[in-house]
Amino acid sequence: NQKRSIEIQYLENILPIANDGQDVIEGLSSTPKTIPAKYFYDAYGSELFEQICLLPEYYPTRTETEILQQASAEIAELTGVCELVELGSGSSTKTRLLLSAYENLGQPWQYVPIDVSSEILKESALQLHSEYPHLSILGLVGTYEQALLQLPASSLPKRMIVFLGSTLGNFTQEECDRLFNEVRDILQVGDYFLLGIDLQKPKEILEKAYNDSQGVTAKFNLNMLSHLNQRYEGNFDLDSFQHHAIYNQNEQQIEMYLRAKQVQRIQLKKLDLKIEIEVGESILTEISRKFNLEQMEEFLAQHRLKPIKYWTDEKQWFGLILSQL
Ligand code: AVJ
């Protein structure tokens, strides 16, 4: 098949959405201090996340993979050939199960992976291009917000937005609401939205998953500071911070923090930002919300995304919901 194409587009700075780093300034200037979770994913952070996915304690990836093994053929059958747009595609490892199911339909189709990390996006796009003979790939480097606002028209009659791995868990309820509206707005009637969510479960299991014994999650958390140092000419001293993750039962979310072991004067030159961090003060780097399947179906329906079918594992630890506009 000669006509299939592969292309990578950089979305950064195309549209005047919030200036790069504005959210870092806001987060570090507020109380408590926060840094948006997307700053985990520079090239090394994406690599560390891939390692997390293989950890024995980190059940989400394994569980979602198991569900996708069961459900992919059925999903492809339900939707038929379509354009797959994936938010936060990373290495596209789990997505391959889905991609193979679409490949089995034996017709040309299109995959649009979106990721903030250009390195991992390019690498996996090239790899996929060689693996799937009917597939065209358009990789978009940028945030979800940028991608959803700048998504090129699909050449196929149908589109499915894919949001796996419970990355939705990083969003507050308000941000979920906004994202679902944005997703709905770029879908046409009859298009699909496939969502993978981590489900509520005992605190002990959750806290182990975010405090692994090999310390990979701690490295992943700390790497955010090294990313900010490089990106904005900062002076965070990684040895002065400690990884800390707890399950907040009331909010039903994991909260990851970097706790300062000593007082620090932080400067991010490129952002013209100076802040002070006290001993014992924590920066919130991530929330990872744990959901309830029925409530999520209702929430989708409130956004006119009609649940078609859901899949879960034996223990009901993870859920996959297919909905349609
Ligand atoms: C990619 C956001 C789904 O919340 O479980 C893994 C990121 N953080 N370990 C998650 C993460 C710490 C992950 N998500």
Q: What is the pLDDT of residue 81?
A: 95
Q: What is the pLDDT of residue 17?
A: 53
**Atom number, ligand 1, closest to the C-alpha of residue 286:** 8
pLDDT in tens, 44-99: 999 999 999 999 999 999 999 999 999 999 999 999 999 999 999 988 889 999 99
User: Taking 50 as the threshold, does the pLDDT of residue 310 lie above it?
Assistant: yes
pLDDT in tens, 222-261: 999 999 999 999 999 999 999 999 999 999 999 999 999 9
Interface ipTM: 0.99
Which amino acid residue places its CA nearest to atom 1 of ligand 1? 167
Q: What is the pLDDT of residue 108?
A: 86
pTM over 0.90: yes
Token pair for 121: 């996006």
Contact 322, 309 (CB under 8 A): yes
Which amino acid residue places its CA nearest to atom 13 of ligand 1? 167
User: Taking 90 as the threshold, does the pLDDT of residue 3 lie above it?
Assistant: no
Angle at 156 between CA 152 and CA 161, to 5 degrees: 65
Query: In whole angstroms, what is the distance from residue 32 CA to residue 298 CA?
Result: 32
Q: What is the pLDDT of residue 15?
A: 46
Q: How confident is the model at residue 18 (pLDDT cuts 50, 70, 90)?
A: low
User: Which residues lie closer than 8 Å to 204 by C-beta, 6 or more apart?
Assistant: none
Q: How confident is the model at residue 12 (pLDDT cuts 50, 70, 90)?
A: low
Which amino acid residue places its CA nearest to atom 3 of ligand 1? 167
Which amino acid residue places its CA nearest to atom 2 of ligand 1? 167
What percentage of the chain has pLDDT greater than the value 70?
97
Half-sphere exposure of 158 (CA within 13 A, CB side): 15
User: Taking 50 as the threshold, does the pLDDT of residue 304 lie above it?
Assistant: yes
pLDDT in tens, 160-202: 999 999 999 999 999 999 999 999 999 999 999 999 999 999 9
**Atom number, ligand 1, closest to the C-alpha of residue 170:** 2
pLDDT in tens, 21-58: 999 999 999 999 999 999 999 999 999 999 999 999 99
What is the C-alpha radius of gyration for the chain, rounded to an integer number of angstroms?
Answer: 20
Q: What is the pLDDT of residue 9?
A: 86
CB of 217 closer than 6 angstroms to any ligand 1 atom: yes
Q: How confident is the model at residue 2 (pLDDT cuts 50, 70, 90)?
A: low
Query: How far is the CA of 185 from the CAs of 38, 87, 144, 260, 294, in angstroms?
Result: 23, 15, 14, 42, 23
Token pair for 171: 């969003």
Nearest to 109 by CA among 138, 151, 130: 138
Taking the centre of ligand 1 as the mean of its atom positions, its distance from the CA of residue 49, in whole angstroms, is 8
**Atom number, ligand 1, closest to the C-alpha of residue 254:** 4
CB of 45 closer than 6 angstroms to any ligand 1 atom: no
Average pLDDT, the chain: 94
253, 256, 288, 291, best to mutate for ligand 1 pocket (most atoms within 8 Å of CB): 288
Q: What is the pLDDT of residue 155?
A: 87
Which amino acid residue places its CA nearest to atom 10 of ligand 1? 288
CB of 139 closer than 6 angstroms to any ligand 1 atom: no
Q: How confident is the model at residue 146 (pLDDT cuts 50, 70, 90)?
A: confident
Instruction: Return phi, psi of residue 62, to 5°.
Output: -60, -45
> Once rounded to an integer, what is the mean pLDDT over residues 206-213?
98
CB of 210 closer than 6 angstroms to any ligand 1 atom: yes
Contact 11, 142 (CB under 8 A): yes
Nearest to 192 by CA among 311, 289, 318, 304: 304
Taking the centre of ligand 1 as the mean of its atom positions, its distance from the CA of residue 38, in whole angstroms, is 11
Query: In whole angstroms, what is the distance from residue 290 CA to residue 298 CA?
Result: 16
